[in-house]
């Protein structure tokens, strides 16, 4: 195979700041086409990357030269466009959350299996150097089992990131389906599952719209019970008026680990014997300070290597189910078990 021919569907901020520049930097990928219903956006990026511009994703999918696509659209379109792309014979890298329901997620997984094509979900937190290093420390067994944890993702809101600003689809339930939980919470649900190599068994959550316009939550606080018995909190917020919080704290049998909580040392480990490890492991990405996500490189390499990606549809669905359970819990006032 020569260079992988790529189509990017959706020309908003995530495409502009992550997918397109990372494909352009990958020597095994070529951006053949971009698509957006706002045609000037598509034409602008097509000119930047010497690609074809489309205003209709079906038109892009009809191009036989395109082998793989990134789906960078509002959440309610992820399943529809992903399934269409898979049925058109394209590999798919889909933004998170992968879908708005378990049924949609399963339809995407089934479509990938039927088409014998790769489906990957863009959960970039797994590839951040601080998180990779933290997992290595956990695997060393020096800290023992994780007993409790806190994980958070909080910033000032999508209007500071989205290409549409305060008029962004992120604030409309009909397009986003959830607010901070889908934008930020699903990242941390995926991270904690991956870090602990454990599954969430039950969720109790509170969610509220405290400041932002629209009809989705801008804050959520969740209590997670893991299959191992570990307990922890997951917080997602769009009303954080200081620097972003993307931290995780693990309280273990033989010590404590702080991740992305210090501006210099991204991993700090306190051992029961009084010893402290301070590790510089690379900055965690923020909206203000983008770092290479690793997602695109993993997607391209998985296709060339003819292997499953690090984050297949089944993993995306498992993390989505945590958010779906949190939504149900917040609505009913009861803890929700994940089957």
What are the residues whose beta carbons fall under 8 Å from the beta carbon of 334, sequence distance 6 or more?
204
Structure-derived torsion over alpha carbons of residues 125, 129, 132, 133, reported in degrees to the nearest 10: -140
Q: Catalytic site residues?
A: 96
**Distance between CA atoms of 128 and 293, rounded to whole angstroms?**
7
- Own/partner pairs, 167-173, CB within 8 angstroms, 24+ separation: 169/74, 170/214, 170/216, 171/212, 171/213, 171/214, 171/215, 171/216, 172/214, 172/215, 172/216, 173/214, 173/215, 173/216
The CA distance from 117 to 112, in Å, is: 5
Q: Exposed/middle/buried for 174, CB within 10 Å: 0-12, 13-18, 19+?
A: exposed
User: Cis before residue 46, ω within 30 degrees of 0?
Assistant: no
Q: Please state, in angstroms and rounded to a whole number, the distance separating the CA atoms of residues 207 and 128.
A: 28
How far, CA to CA in Å, does 327 sit from each of 90, 221, 246?
Answer: 32, 11, 21
Contacts of 282 (CB under 8 A, 6+ apart): 128, 129, 130, 266, 291
**In angstroms, what CA-CA distances link 107 with 78, 80, 233, 317?**
11, 9, 30, 11
């Amino acid at each position: 195979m020569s260079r992988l021919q790529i189509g990017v569907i959706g020309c908003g901020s995530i495409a502009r700041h992550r997918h397109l520049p990372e494909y352009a930097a990958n020597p095994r990928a070529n951006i053949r086409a971009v698509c957006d219903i706002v045609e000037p956006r598509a034409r602008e990026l097509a000119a930047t990357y010497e690609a074809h511009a489309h205003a209709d994703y079906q038109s892009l999918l009809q191009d036989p030269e395109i082998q793989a696509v990134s789906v960078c659209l509002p959440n309610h379109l992820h399943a529809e466009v992903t399934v269409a792309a898979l049925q058109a014979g394209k590999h798919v890298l889909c933004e998170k959350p992968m879908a708005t329901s378990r049924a949609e997620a399963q339809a995407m997984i089934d479509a990938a299996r039927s088409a014998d094509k790769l489906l990957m979900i863009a959960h970039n937190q797994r590839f951040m150097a601080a998180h990779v290093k933290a997992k290595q420390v956990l695997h060393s067994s020096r800290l023992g089992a994780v007993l409790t944890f806190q994980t958070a993702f909080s910033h000032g809101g999508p209007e500071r990131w989205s290409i549409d600003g305060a008029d962004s689809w992120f604030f409309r339930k009909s397009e986003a389906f959830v607010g901070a939980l889908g934008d930020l919470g699903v990242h941390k649900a995926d991270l904690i599952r991956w870090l602990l190599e454990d599954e969430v068994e039950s969720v109790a959550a509170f969610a509220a719209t405290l400041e932002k316009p629209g009809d989705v939550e801008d804050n959520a606080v969740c209590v997670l019970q893991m299959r191992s018995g570990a307990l922890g909190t997951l917080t997602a917020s769009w009303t954080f008026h200081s620097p972003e919080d993307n931290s995780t704290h693990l309280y273990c049998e033989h010590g404590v680990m702080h991740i992305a909580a210090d501006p210099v040392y991204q991993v700090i480990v306190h051992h029961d014997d009084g010893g402290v490890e301070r590790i510089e492991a690379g900055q965690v990405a923020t909206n203000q300070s983008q770092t290479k996500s690793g997602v695109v490189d993993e997607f391209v390499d998985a296709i060339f290597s003819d292997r499953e990606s690090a984050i297949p549809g089944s993993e995306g669905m498992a993390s989505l189910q945590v958010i779906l359970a949190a939504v149900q819990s917040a609505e009913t006032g009861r803890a929700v078990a994940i089957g």
